[in-house]
Structure 1
């Protein structure tokens, strides 16, 4: 035992003192050695739980989902009743003024710490952990672990790694890519299309080793499933279709194929709109990929993390003092475009209140409000929804439009509209249908952290109809849609570069 411990300590010192220690931080000492740790399925479950926890910790390190996926589109504005020293970041994001947002002297950063958005170390810790999991599973037999269970765990490692790379690419563009465990070699950045193509190839190989669902309801949607893998594959293909123009039709075609496989499985379904609380609480039959939050298990996100924190007020946010108004609101002009006057839509009635078009702090977006809130000044006890069945249907419809399957795309679009009690689409294919599907994505997925990334991948980030402060063609080409990178990413790594748009 003493010999094993000495070996573990030596290995840890070697890794932690290597030239790129700050670039690729690995797991705690007790999880580095196959001899000392990987003895049972409970060890594996504990390790996987820790990986998801690392990912979750990154997403709650600031208002991550809001800042990255919602606010930068500029359709959310700070309420006039709000102290700009407290919530001025809302408008900073909407103006794409990220350097002002993350400035050390910005008054909101004492609480929100938006500089965390410029640091990728925590994401690479997740990737390194997934790499270690994959390696250790294949190194030595683990008592009681069947071949099928082994392949499932290996597939889950790949899924987690690919999901993390997607988050990295959407934030920073080109990023270092590796799948080797215990890596201690400095790496340059890899072209983001190549990164995503690599992820597509490795996840496609193992997706069939994942279950469609779990017998344990506690694992539903918060652990990797085949449906979640298919949704991730679809999204990665759609992302690359926006940048890999030469191969975009192949990306769209693969998205359709994955979407059909998911639909034909009949493993997931749309819940009635009146059951929205169950959808966003999480682990429902509509869930595909979620990050767990559960008050009863101490899995409560930091108070500033959820998007709902800035668009709800009393009586959905307690106490009345300090929550008389929402801190932000969706611009009325944008909402009128999504919800034309006189057109029925249950989402308007269910996800908003009578002050929907107020253009001030009376506004509330109550899509994520629920009976699961606990105590004062605490946000709804909901999971972070990354992909759900409605997301997958709309991605499939989008790809069908681009591959000439207008009738099939219309059918999927109308599944979403039927659930919402909205009029069915009866128009032509082509650009009219393309715009209808995109409008439906903007409505259905509002607040779920996809809006800005959809602007980027479709080029609508340069269209003022959809992006309130659009990028120019030149700004887009120079990476104005990315985030700045902290200079610390270059520590001990002579091959590393920053995002030039934010440094010039």
Structure 2
């Protein structure tokens, strides 16, 4: 079911087109001959997906680590400790790595879109789909970029390195209005509702609608968010009956709740994710119990606070978090004791057996249907539809085995929806962005050392130095 990403990694850029790898002037002679038929464009679109695989391996460092549900107990990585404690500087390596990855995605999407515009639909039989995919992926890259860095350069067509070196930063509102929203609206009109066979895993109409709904919600356009997210409730998506099945990697991840993942390939080909090793404590009982090869990275430990938030009947706690001192329970019901060494707690969502170290079958869930429902409930709540929002919120709670809420006024309902997102999406790249989006970050994270300017990260120093002109490309305030 993950063939798309196996294909792109094994073949796309071993035999790939130079002009969608490098930021160089577009040469008509060198590139036009490479975009002749539908397969040419299909291969080029596959290439747009590829940088997401590397980028999302570290997305938790933005979406989870700065938040209040995760801490870096193991101090071997000073960069992770710094992110956790809000002492990041512009020279932190992940910043430039992410910046380059996202702009590589954007450049590849821009190249495909520029070449396909004049292509003959008789030769390019899937022209609309290719355009829709390219625009969805470009919008996703820009959506992540503005949430991480704030104002960024808006580049919507291929440009030369010389042009790029003089391009300033555009306002976040402009990025939303001029690209993210427009790209996603066009993508939803062009993408199919579903795929079959090796194409499963590509962006769909539902993925475009869901990301558009999230963009509207993030931009506080609640009426538009409600309307868009409501559309997904009529498209055949549904919650899985058991929350635990979402993170049982022996089962198909493309189910009724799946909307869009970053896909990794299992099967021992070295194309898997590193999630399993990243979050596992380096303790032999855990590694042996789950069939994990290599060592545990011991990163991203859940805080004590998150444990207390789950009700005793909530299935999500056992799937999401664990304490080393609690040990493990084997198949016969016997306890396997463990002693905390470097970490006292650990994250469980990506635990699965793997053929080789750092070669996990676990995907990264960008958007799933529970996210749609909780965003839909939030939008309805902000639009004064308290009873309707409560009904939707309770769908997510009861699936997890938690008790229903009743008789909530708008303020309490808002808080319960925010809480539900914490419980549902622990270590899925949501918490930090939710805190910023809802205006809670400065209050909730005060003890961790956050300051008002820290709701976005610094622009990488390497990018500041390339332009070397603060009048058109300034650093984010507070990081100078």
TM over 0.5: yes
Instruction: Show the counterpart of 1:247.
Output: none
The answer on 1:277 being equivalent to 2:247 is yes
C-alpha contact (below 8 Å) 1:27/1:129 kept by paired residues: no
Instruction: Note the 1:390-429 alignment, pairs <5 A.
Output: 390-429=370-409
C-alpha contact (below 8 Å) 1:69/1:450 kept by paired residues: yes
The answer on 1:214 being equivalent to 2:195 is yes
The verdict on how the C-alpha distance between 1:54 and 1:97 changes in structure 2, with shifts beyond 3 A counting, is same
Instruction: Show the counterpart of 1:385.
Output: 365
The answer on 1:235 being equivalent to 2:229 is no
Instruction: Show the counterpart of 2:31.
Output: 33
Deviation at 1:290, TM superposition (A): 1.2
Unaligned runs of 5+ in 1: 1-11, 104-112, 242-250
Instruction: Show the counterpart of 2:355.
Output: 374
Q: Identify which of 357, 363, 371 aligns with 2:345.
A: 363
The answer on 1:286 being equivalent to 2:257 is yes
- Counterpart-to-counterpart distance in 2, 1:215 and 1:281: 14
TM-align CA RMSD = 3.3
The verdict on how the C-alpha distance between 1:322 and 1:180 changes in structure 2, with shifts beyond 3 A counting, is closer
Deviation at 1:74, TM superposition (A): 4.3
Instruction: Note the 1:131-280 alignment, pairs <5 A.
Output: 131-141=110-120, 144-146=123-125, 149-182=126-159, 185=163, 186-198=166-178, 199-216=180-197, 218-220=198-200, 222-241=201-220, 251-278=221-248
The answer on 1:75 being equivalent to 2:50 is no
TM-score if structure 2 supplies the norm length?
Answer: 0.82
Deviations 1:42-101 (A, max 9, x none): 2112111111112323334xxx2221111111432333xx4x2x234443222111129x
Deviation at 1:275, TM superposition (A): 1.1
Deviation at 1:315, TM superposition (A): 4.4
Q: Identify which of 291, 313, 334 aligns with 2:306.
A: 334
The verdict on how the C-alpha distance between 1:259 and 1:320 changes in structure 2, with shifts beyond 3 A counting, is closer
- Counterpart-to-counterpart distance in 2, 1:266 and 1:170: 30
- Counterpart-to-counterpart distance in 2, 1:308 and 1:429: 43
C-alpha contact (below 8 Å) 2:191/2:205 kept by paired residues: yes
The verdict on how the C-alpha distance between 1:292 and 1:193 changes in structure 2, with shifts beyond 3 A counting, is same
The verdict on how the C-alpha distance between 1:446 and 1:407 changes in structure 2, with shifts beyond 3 A counting, is same
Unaligned runs of 5+ in 2: 1-16, 328-339
C-alpha contact (below 8 Å) 1:310/1:327 kept by paired residues: yes
Instruction: Show the counterpart of 2:320.
Output: 351
